[in-house]
Structure 1
Amino acid sequence: MTNDTMQGRFITFEGGEGVGKSTNIEFAAHWLHERGFEVIVTREPGGTEIAERIRNDLLKAHHGETMQPLTELLLVFAARAQHLLQVIKPALERGAWVLCDRFTDSTIAYQGYGRGLDQTTIHALKELVQQGLEPDLTILLDAPLDVGMGRAQRRGQSAGEETDRFEVEQRAFFERVQQGFQALAASEARFRIVDASQPLADVQTHVVMLLEEWV
């Protein structure tokens, strides 16, 4: 597909824990930079000062009280509203490519399928916050749970990172999340699935093939 090089593109990378989203986003950004595109790499929740503060509260594993699932959902969309207005929409309007580590599909998978929150509520918030904006392409990095969770655990141990609220969930939670991503990929034409259990070079070759459809 050939497109005007000045037209901004919104590409999201989705998937469970340890599938390599950050690594492959950085690779994709470098590939696009080499071809002359302005690229913004960002993440959710986060991407702005306010949204990053919300992210910290969402991920912090040791609150003095239990965060309720609805509170979690509302915080995710509050961060997203700020992110869209401050970063994503302005970048797209000036013709940049935005590569985002997670977006609303993660909310549907984690808070909807994982936490069991009502999908109607999630979609109502999505419409309110996004106002019809959708990614042009969503790359779902998919790997068996044992592979992804094993990688995530090793990464956290090597970096000395504190375990966050999601990483301490039981396996059944992550099974529901994975089911959510698979259901979204089956129902949304913008999804492309990449087998993240392959060697990294093979994953990145597949990512390039997907990006080439848009440059």
Structure 2
Amino acid sequence: MNRYPGLFITLEGGEGAGKSTAAKGLAELLRAEGHEVLATREPGGTKGAEAIRALLLGTETPLHPLAQTMLHFAARADHVETVLRPALERGAIVICDRFYDSTMAYQGYAQGVGVEVVDSLIRLIDLVPDLSFFLRVSEDVAKARLVTRAGATDRYESMGEDFTAKLMRGFEAIAAKEPGRCLWVNSSGTPKEVVAQLRQLIAERAGR
């Protein structure tokens, strides 16, 4: 658990796993129960971090994987110090759509930047989630969900099946190292069913 009175929950997984939908539904449920909830995302969450997000996800500007890593952590540093840490200090439940596990999986493992490099930046940020839900669906379900998305395909959605396989192996390695924090969730069901799973796991693991 982190050292703050609040509760820090992150949602992770590959493209089309349903993280954003689950994060929104979970935040709504917890607010209805009377909790103060901050729902946010990465990269993003502050004006500066959202500007970096546009660069990272855009496909028009090539970026070396190490440059991507550094940009993710630059956005994260602003997000943590400006938004996340203050919310946790005042006792809020923070729900973040992606955090540093995504950088580890996408850049550290799938793009070969290296675990040690990403680990050094994680230590610099110095904020560990209390619970990280790793959402997983079949490849067919993920593809079907991506087709329904509005807008252009982003940098990571366009990287192909080989990248996706490396990415999921990265998430599996992360979860295996920290089974107390990282929990796999089958997100193939309806949004309501997925949120119910998450709420139950929060009660079981965090006692809230």
The TM-score bracket by the shorter chain reads over 0.9
Q: What is the one-letter code of the residue matched to 1:11? A: I
Percent identity of the aligned residues? 45
1:170 paired residue number: 160
1:200 Cα deviation after fit: 3.2
Question: C-alpha distance in 2, partners of 1:165/1:44?
Answer: 15
Q: What is the one-letter code of the residue matched to 2:128? A: E
2:116 paired residue number: 120
Q: Would you say 1:181 and 2:179 are equivalent positions?
A: no
1:199 paired residue number: 190
**Per-residue CA distance 1:69-124 (angstroms, 9 max, x = gap):** 11111000000000000000000001111100000000011001111111111111
**Per-residue CA distance 1:152-198 (angstroms, 9 max, x = gap):** 1222xxx2x01111111111001111111111112212011111123
1:49 paired residue number: 47
1:7 Cα deviation after fit: 2.6
Give runs of aligned pairs for residues 10-89 of structure 1, distance below 5 A.
Answer: 10-63=8-61, 66-89=62-85
Distance change >3 Å, CA 13–CA 112, structure 1 → 2: same
Q: Do the aligned partners of 1:145 and 1:175 also contact (CA within 8 Å) in 2?
A: no
Question: C-alpha distance in 1, partners of 2:192/2:43?
Answer: 28
Q: What is the one-letter code of the residue matched to 1:138? A: S
1:3 paired residue number: none
The number of residue pairs the alignment matches comes to: 202
Question: C-alpha distance in 1, partners of 2:191/2:34?
Answer: 24
Question: C-alpha distance in 2, partners of 1:170/1:22?
Answer: 21
Question: C-alpha distance in 2, partners of 1:116/1:53?
Answer: 25
1:143 paired residue number: 137
Give runs of aligned pairs for residues 98-113 of structure 1, distance below 5 A.
Answer: 98-113=94-109
5+ residue gaps in structure 2?
Answer: none
5+ residue gaps in structure 1?
Answer: 1-5
**Per-residue CA distance 1:24-61 (angstroms, 9 max, x = gap):** 11111111111211100000000000000000000111
